A and B are shown apart, each in its own frame.
Chain A
Amino acid sequence: MMVPEALALSAVLFCIGVVGVLTRRNAIIIFMCVELMLNAVNLSFVAFSRLYGMTGQVFVVFVMTVAAAEAAVGLAIIISIFRHRQTVDLTNINLLKG
C-alpha cells in the first residue's frame, strides 16, 4: 500500500522544511518552509489513515483549515513589519536584543 514510502517521503519533506527555516533569512520563505512542514505532516496523516481508518484524513482537513487561518494572520504580520522597515529580511530586523 506504499505506506512506508509515503512516510519516508513525508520525513524527507519535513526535514527540508526544517533546514529551510533554519538557514533562510527571508520571512516569506521561512513561512513557506513552515507550510512545507505542515504538508509533510499531512502526508503522514493520510498514509497512517490507510492503516487505521478515517481519523487521519479528518485531521488533515483540520490542519489545512488552520494553516489557511495561520497564513492570513502571518501575512498580515509580515506586511506590518514591511511597512516599518521596507524589508522582510530577518538579518535587518534587530530592535529587540539582550
Chain B
Amino acid sequence: MPYDLGIPGQLTLALAPDLVLLGGAMALMLVAAWGPESAARQRTVGIGALVLCVAVLAMVIAVAIRQPSAANGVIAVDGFRWAADALFLLAAIIAIALSIDYNPREGILAGEAHVLTLFATGGMMLMAAARDLMVLFLGIELMSIAVYAMVGLNRRSPRAAEGSLKYFLLGAFATAFLLYGIALVYGATGSTNLAEIGERIAALGLSRSPMLLVGIALLLVGFGFKLAAAPFHMWAPDVYEGAPTPISGFMAAGVKAAAFAAFLRVWLEAFPGVYTEWHKAVWWLAATTMVVGNIIALQQKNLKRMLAYSSIGHTGFILVALAAGTPQAATAFLFYLFAYTLATMGAFAVIIAVGQSGGSGDRIEDFHGLWHSNPGLAVAMMVFMLALLGFPVFGGMGFFAKWYVLQAALQAPAPQTRLAIILVITSTISAGYYVWVVMVMFMKQRATDALRIPPMPAMTRWVVTASVALILFFGVYPEPLVRLARASTAVGIAPVDGGPASTAALQGQ
C-alpha cells in the first residue's frame, strides 16, 4: 500500500532511515561531548558511528526489498532513493573507518568528527529523497555546513583552515545562486514540488518563460559548484588537498554522488518539459568538465590534487549520462557512481596508508618504487587507478561503468554521439596520469632515504581489501549490480520516462 505522506505517522515511516541516522548522530554527539577529548573517546564515537551506519544501511536494504511507494509528496519513496542512500552510507562507512585510525595520527582527537560525517550523510539522504525544492535546499545545507566544518577539522594545519575557508565562501556563494534559482522557478510555476513544477511547465507552456529559464540556469550554477563541474571547479583541488585525507575521499565520492542524485531527480522530474533548453547547457558543462579536469590533472605532482582533477573529469563523464536523460542513463549513472566511489575512496585509503611513514603520503615521490617495499599497497593502488581509467579486466568494474555510460549516451532517443567521442578521447588522455602512477610504483627505484611504511591498521587494511575485491568481482561479473541498478531506476525515475512532456521533448530532438 502506498504511503500517504499527508499523515504524520506515515511520513515518519517513509523517512525512517534518515530519522534513525540523524537521531543516532545526535546521541553520539552527546557521547562525544560528555567528557574531555581523548583518543579513546574518539575511537568509541567512531565505532558507534560505524555501527549506526551499518544499521541504517541494513534498514535501507530491508525497506528497499519491501518496495514501498508513495503518491506525490515532499519525499520520494522509490528505488532510486534507496540505491543512492546505500551509496552514501557506503561512502560514510569507508570514511569513518579510515578516520578512526587517521585522525589521532594527525592530532585530531575530537569525536565530533565522526558525528559531522553522520550529519553530512543525513543531509545527502535528504537530498536523494527530496521531491520538493524546500527539502532539497535543507538537505544540501545540512550536508554542506557539516562538510565545511569537516574540511577544517585539523585546527593545527594552516592548509586545512585555508581549504575550509575557500570551500565555505564559495559554497555559500553557490548556495545563494541555487536559492535564487529555486525562488525564480517557484515564481514561474507557483510550486516547489518537483512533480507539480513538471506538470505546470507542460500545462501552461512555460518552456519559453524567461523567469523559468533564468531560474534553471541559476540552479545549474549552484549544482555545478557542488558537483565541481568546470568552470565551477576552482575550489575542488585546494579543498581536497587541504582537507584530512578521509574527508577528501568522502567529498570526492559522497558529496558528489549526493549532488548528482539530487541533480538527476530535479532535472528529470521537474524540467523534462524544457529538455531542449537545458540540454545545451548540460552538454557544454559535460564537455568542458571532461576536457578541463583530465588535461589539468596531467600536470599535478600532488596525488590529492591529481585525484581532485580526476574527480572533476569523472563529473564530466557522469554528466554525459545526464545529458542523455533516459532511464537507461539513470541505471548507468548509478553503476558508475558505485564504481567511482569504491575506486576513489580506495585511492585515498592508499594515500593514508602511505602517509603512515610520517610524510604526507600525497607526493608522487612517496609512491616511487612502492612495489619493492609494499607490494600489496602497490597492487591495490594499481587496481584503483586502472578502475578510474576504465581499463578492462585489471580495472574491474571501472571498465563496465564507462561502457554503460557510453551505451546510454549512444542509445538515447537523441544520441549524444559527440559527447561520447569526447568521453573516449578524454579517457585516453586520463591514461597519461593514471598509468603514470602505476608506472612510478613499479618501475622507479625507492629513494634510499624513503621512510619505511608500517603495516596498515586493521580498518584501513579492511577498507582497501574490500574495495579491491568488490571492484574486481563486479569487473568479472557485473550482472547482479546492473540488475539492481536497473530495478532501482525502474521504480524511481520511470514516471519521467512515461511523462508526455519528456517523450515529446525527446522525440522533438
> Which A residues lie at the B interface, using CB under 8 A?
7, 14, 17, 21, 27, 30-31, 34, 37-38, 40-41, 44-45, 48, 51-52, 55-56, 58-59, 62-63, 66, 69-70, 73-74, 76-78, 80-81, 83-85, 93, 95-98
Are A41 and B183 closer than 8 Å at their CB atoms?
A: yes
Which residues of A lie under 8 Å from residue B137 when comparing CB positions?
59, 62-63, 66
Which residues of B lie under 8 Å from residue A59 when comparing CB positions?
134, 137, 182-183, 186, 192
Q: How far is the CB of B3 from chain A (nearest CB, A)?
A: 22
A80 to B299 Cα, complex, angstroms: 31
Binding-face segment, B158-166, B249-257, B343-351, B493-501: B158-166
Q: List 15 A-B contacts (CB under 8 A).
A: A34-B169, A34-B176, A38-B176, A41-B179, A44-B180, A45-B186, A48-B183, A55-B134, A55-B192, A58-B134, A66-B138, A81-B161, A84-B162, A93-B165, A96-B237
Chain B interface extent, by class? 35 or more
A55 to B191 Cα, complex, angstroms: 8
Are B187 and A44 closer than 8 Å at their CB atoms?
A: yes
Q: B149 at the A/B interface (Cβ < 8 Å)?
A: yes
Which residues of A lie under 8 Å from residue B192 when comparing CB positions?
55, 59
A84 to B163 Cα, complex, angstroms: 13
Q: How far is the CB of A47 from chain B (nearest CB, A)?
A: 8
Which residues of A lie under 8 Å from residue B186 when comparing CB positions?
45, 48, 52, 55-56, 59
Q: How far is the CB of A30 from chain B (nearest CB, A)?
A: 6
Are A80 and B180 closer than 8 Å at their CB atoms?
A: no
Task: Kindly count the residue-residue contacts between A and B in the assembled complex, taking CB atoms under 8 Å apart.
Answer: 121
Q: B184 at the A/B interface (Cβ < 8 Å)?
A: yes
Are B237 and A37 closer than 8 Å at their CB atoms?
A: no
Q: How far is the CB of A15 from chain B (nearest CB, A)?
A: 10
Of B158, B187, B305, the residue contacting A98 (CB under 8 A) is: B305
Q: How far is the CB of B300 from chain A (nearest CB, A)?
A: 7
Are B152 and A77 closer than 8 Å at their CB atoms?
A: yes
Closest to B154 in A: A80
Q: B246 at the A/B interface (Cβ < 8 Å)?
A: no
Are B162 and A41 closer than 8 Å at their CB atoms?
A: no
Q: B11 at the A/B interface (Cβ < 8 Å)?
A: no
Closest to B179 in A: A41
A52 to B305 Cα, complex, angstroms: 47
A59 to B165 Cα, complex, angstroms: 27
Of B161, B163, B172, B241, the residue contacting A31 (CB under 8 A) is: B172
Q: How far is the CB of B292 from chain A (nearest CB, A)?
A: 14
Which residues of B lie under 8 Å from residue A84 when comparing CB positions?
158, 161-162
Q: B483 at the A/B interface (Cβ < 8 Å)?
A: no
**A14-B180, A96-B241 as given contacts; A81 in contact with B162, CB under 8 Å:** yes
4 extra interchain contacts, Cβ-Cβ under 8 A, other than A27-B169, A55-B192, A83-B155?
Answer: A37-B176, A78-B165, A80-B152, A84-B158
A38 to B190 Cα, complex, angstroms: 20
Are A41 and B176 closer than 8 Å at their CB atoms?
A: yes
Are A98 and B300 closer than 8 Å at their CB atoms?
A: yes
Which residues of A lie under 8 Å from residue B161 when comparing CB positions?
77, 80-81, 83-84
**A70-B145, A73-B148 as given contacts; A96 in contact with B190, CB under 8 Å:** no
Q: B122 at the A/B interface (Cβ < 8 Å)?
A: no
Q: How far is the CB of B117 from chain A (nearest CB, A)?
A: 15
Are B134 and A74 closer than 8 Å at their CB atoms?
A: no
Are B145 and A69 closer than 8 Å at their CB atoms?
A: yes
A27 to B137 Cα, complex, angstroms: 24
Q: How far is the CB of B80 from chain A (nearest CB, A)?
A: 25
Which residues of A lie under 8 Å from residue B300 when comparing CB positions?
98
Q: How far is the CB of A74 from chain B (nearest CB, A)?
A: 5
Are A98 and B149 closer than 8 Å at their CB atoms?
A: no
Are B237 and A73 closer than 8 Å at their CB atoms?
A: no
Of B164, B299, B305, the residue contacting A77 (CB under 8 A) is: B164
Of B134, B173, B242, the residue contacting A96 (CB under 8 A) is: B242
Q: How far is the CB of B280 from chain A (nearest CB, A)?
A: 24
Interface string of B289-322 (1 = CB under 8 A from A): 0000000000111100100000000000000000
Residue in A38, A52, A76, A77 with the greatest tally of chain B CB atoms within 10 Å? A77
Are A77 and B168 closer than 8 Å at their CB atoms?
A: yes
A34 to B302 Cα, complex, angstroms: 32
**A52-B190, A66-B137, A95-B162 as given contacts; A77 in contact with B148, CB under 8 Å:** yes
Q: B277 at the A/B interface (Cβ < 8 Å)?
A: no
**A37-B180, A41-B179 as given contacts; A70 in contact with B134, CB under 8 Å:** no
A93 to B169 Cα, complex, angstroms: 13
A38 to B176 Cα, complex, angstroms: 6
Are A93 and B180 closer than 8 Å at their CB atoms?
A: no
Which residues of B lie under 8 Å from residue A37 when comparing CB positions?
173, 176, 180
Are A63 and B179 closer than 8 Å at their CB atoms?
A: yes
Q: B141 at the A/B interface (Cβ < 8 Å)?
A: yes
Closest to B174 in A: A34
Which residues of B lie under 8 Å from residue A30 when comparing CB positions?
169
Are B173 and A21 closer than 8 Å at their CB atoms?
A: yes
Which residues of B lie under 8 Å from residue A62 when comparing CB positions?
134, 137-138
**A21-B173, A77-B168, A95-B158 as given contacts; A45 in contact with B152, CB under 8 Å:** no
Q: How far is the CB of A92 from chain B (nearest CB, A)?
A: 10
Closest to A17 in B: B176
